[in-house]
Chains A and B, each alone.
Chain A
Amino acid sequence: MLHSRVRFIGILSVSALAAFAGACNRDTPGASSGKPRVALVLKTLNNPFFIDMQRGAERAAKDLNIDLVVQAADRETDVERQMQIVENLIQAHVGALALTPSGSREVVPVVGKANASNIPVVIVDTRLDQKAATDAGVKIASFVGSDNYRGGQLVGQYLVKASNGHARVAILEGIPGHETGDSRVRGFKDAIKDSPGVTIVASQPANWERDQGFNVFQNILQAHADIDTVFACNDIMALGAIEAIAAAGKAGRIRVLGFDAIDDARRAITEGRMTATVAQYPDEMGRAAIEAAVKAMKGEAVAADIGVRIGLITKENAARESEKK
């Protein structure tokens, strides 16, 4: 029985620790501050994009004088865990919920549960699958995100201007079926369609990854030696393509266009190895999401679609933009 008692004490002491951690946490939804509570559920907290989003949300919460709870699954792929977190927050009776879906279709059932509990849901960054949402009859208060289609257009328009309407382009796509990548490609294609001199000679997926960006673009270069522009649907793939260009001894002769404006890409642009990228502003996304959630909680009207600004980054503004960060 000694065994049983020690085990009991062990688990109890760890529980106590958990409780202590809870008590120390100022976000505690159980705390009776009397302020309304809003939750932000992210895909993950180990990606700078979402950490910036959290910062923006926290500032908005402070300005609006509400309690903000930020939670995320350990892994971006674990959509079931994200579902559990949302279920638990529903049980905690949060006033409103902002959610970045880990799966466009997979989170639809839990959004339905929030609907059933009359908790307004603001979807952030990644849209719900339209069909799944309609089939399940779920409702969201608003969508907050940057317009990927518009971003693709910005890149396309820039290319038409920079190349005087003459370019041979390779596209590196994201994972097939990802809404964000597909929209970026669509925007890009629509922007160049009135310029017959700008032609797409190859378009292949490199699955958002740097090494695949390298390999795929190296292969494309073998097949089409006359390519003078590459548009990668994210900067990571663009950086891979830059290495492939250097390996082929064509550095400086091929325009590299990316998306996301991550720090490495900004540096590459400043150093002249990359041409342009599109900046998203996750902190503004976080702020807009919390503002929309609070409005929805109070029953005020909220726009169904809230676009967050995006901007083209080129050598002219890369350094200036970095400083602002």
Chain B
Amino acid sequence: MRPRLSASGRRLGTLAGLFALCALLWALTPHFLTVSNLLNVLEQTSINAVIAAGMTFVIISAGIDLSVGSLVAVAGVVLASALHAGAPTAIAMAASLAVGCGFGLLNGLAITWGRLPPFIATLGMMSIARGCALLFTEGRPVSGFDPAFRSIATARLAGIPAPVFVTTAVYVLAHAVLSETRFGRYVYSIGGNEEATRLSGVNVRLHKTLVYGVSGLASAVAAVLLTARLNSAQPIAGIMYELDAIAATVIGGTSLMGGEGGLGGTIIGALIMGVLRNGLNLLGVSSFVQQIVIGLVIVVAVLIDTVLKSRKP
């Protein structure tokens, strides 16, 4: 077992990086450090942050989920179609969450009972779920909802955008599950040493399957936010969101090898990406340079982990 200090030390480093980035942007542009812009960043970060929360479970268990972007699309079009069919908001949302979670569990079953590598199983699901979303909607977006539903994205409480509250709730809940429940401990232990976990009598298949269910559920929550935000659910929504979610998770210090990391790091990772994109927009940096910078941040963050780990005795 790795000492806890290392993990929290890494998180401190990432947090310091976030603050340094903010300080830098504050020095460079007067538009960055304003209340309205910071709220704007939090709102923009929420969708990626919610998906990344689920991704964190998967990556801690030493897996990967490439299907989250497509699950966002499926859950979104189910939600939108249910709303258009006249279902009450709560029912439509429940259906969407169930579909997201269900597709996620299918990922889990393919990985555990089908013994497929997570990369392959979720790569397949990425295409299957995308196809389902397109088929279900005949390729067209489903749009136009009543303001009561849209308030999930548009409402403000005490000036703070509603998605920020949703994201906070997701992280508080997910953190409680990961750190306080038996399931959470098993997720770490499966990622650390799956064989040892199995030998100690844990039902690894069940818990691994659930991990992907959690990821699908998180994608569906993101789909609700996205659909309300755009006032539309597109079958082509969420393309490449998996990469943003994986990036936020690894920038936050969760190891792709599994067994370590946590949600505290992931939210900071998601914020670093959100702040960077916002700052680069404010500075008017070319879109091409933005892609290079984001890529460098991901590589450098993980490189440091790898280099330091290899130095340890």
Query: Chain A interface (Cβ within 8 Å of chain B)?
Result: 1-8, 10-19, 21-23, 25, 27-30, 45, 69-75, 77-80, 83-85, 87-89, 91-93, 103, 105-106, 108-109, 129, 131-132, 135-136, 175-177
For window 226-279 of chain B, which residues contact chain A by CB distance below 8 Å?
Answer: 226, 229-232, 234, 236-237, 239-240, 253, 272, 276-279
B287 in complex: contacting residue of A1, A74, A103, CB < 8 Å: A74
- Contact (Cβ within 8 A) B40 A8: no
Q: Is the CB of B17 within 8 A of A88?
A: no
Taking CB atoms, residues of chain B closer than 8 Å to A19 are 24-25, 28, 283
Contacts of B281 in A (CB 8 A): 71, 84-85, 88-89, 92
Q: Measured between alpha carbons, how far is A177 from B91 in the docked complex, in Å?
A: 29
Cβ-closest chain A residue relative to B8: A4
Q: Which segment of B31-39, B101-109, B174-182 sits at the interface?
A: B31-39
The answer to whether B284 touches A27 (Cβ under 8 A) is yes
Question: Does B131 touch A at the CB level, under 8 Å?
Answer: no
Interface centre among A106, A135, A176 (most CB of B within 10 A): A106
Residues of B within 8 A of A (CB): 6, 9-10, 12-14, 16-18, 20-21, 24-25, 28-31, 34, 36-37, 40, 43-44, 47, 138-141, 143-144, 154, 226, 229-232, 234, 236-237, 239-240, 253, 272, 276-289, 291, 293, 296-297, 300-301, 303-305, 308
B287 A30 Cβ-Cβ under 8 A: no
* Inter-subunit contact A75/B240 (CB<8 Å): yes
A77 with B284: in contact, given A10-B303, A106-B231, A176-B138 (CB under 8 Å)?
Answer: no
10 pairs of residues in contact across A and B, judged by CB atoms under 8 Å = A11-B16, A28-B284, A30-B284, A74-B291, A77-B237, A80-B230, A92-B284, A103-B141, A105-B144, A176-B140
**Interface residue from A4, A5, A132 paired with B143 (Cβ < 8 Å):** A132
In the complex, what distance in Å separates the CA atom of A22 from the CA atom of B293? 11
Measured between alpha carbons, how far is A176 from B291 in the docked complex, in Å?
A: 32
CA distance A17 to B299 in the complex (A): 14
**Residues of B contacting A69 in the complex (Cβ-Cβ under 8 angstroms):** 284
A177 contact set on B, CB distance < 8 A: 139-140
Chain B residues with Cβ below 8 Å from A12 are 17, 20-21, 24
A163 to B300 CA separation, bound complex (whole angstroms): 64
The 4 closest A-B pairs by CB, nearest first: A11-B17, A7-B13, A22-B283, A88-B281
Q: Is A18 a contact of B293 with CB atoms below 8 Å?
A: yes
Contact A72 B144 (CB under 8 A): no
In the complex, are the beta carbons of B31 and A11 less than 8 A apart?
A: no
Chain A neighbourhood of B301, CB < 8 A: 7, 10-11
For the complex, give the distance between the alpha carbons of A176 and B234 in Å: 14
Closest residue of chain A to B21 (Cβ to Cβ) is A15
A6-B304, A136-B231 given as contacts; is B143 within 8 A of A22 (CB)? Answer: no
| A23 CA to B286 CA, complexed, in Å | 11
Contact status A11-B14, CB under 8 Å: yes
B24 to chain A: which residues have CB within 8 Å?
12, 15-16, 18-19
User: Which residue from chain A places its CB closest to the CB of B272 in the assembled complex?
Assistant: A11
The answer to whether B276 and A18 touch across the interface, beta carbons within 8 angstroms, is yes
Q: Which residues of the partner chain B approach A7 to less than 8 Å between Cβ atoms?
A: 10, 13-14, 16-17, 253, 301, 304-305
A22 touches B285 (CB 8 A): yes
Bound together, the chains give a CA A19 to CA B10 distance in angstroms of: 24
Cβ–Cβ contact B10 & A87, under 8 A: no
Q: Give the distance in Å from the alpha carbon of A72 to the alpha carbon of B234 in the complex.
A: 19
Q: In this complex, what residue of B is CB-closest to A85?
A: B281
Residue contact B9 to A106, C-beta cutoff 8 Å: no
Residue of A5, A88, A105, A132 near B40 (CB, 8 A) is A88
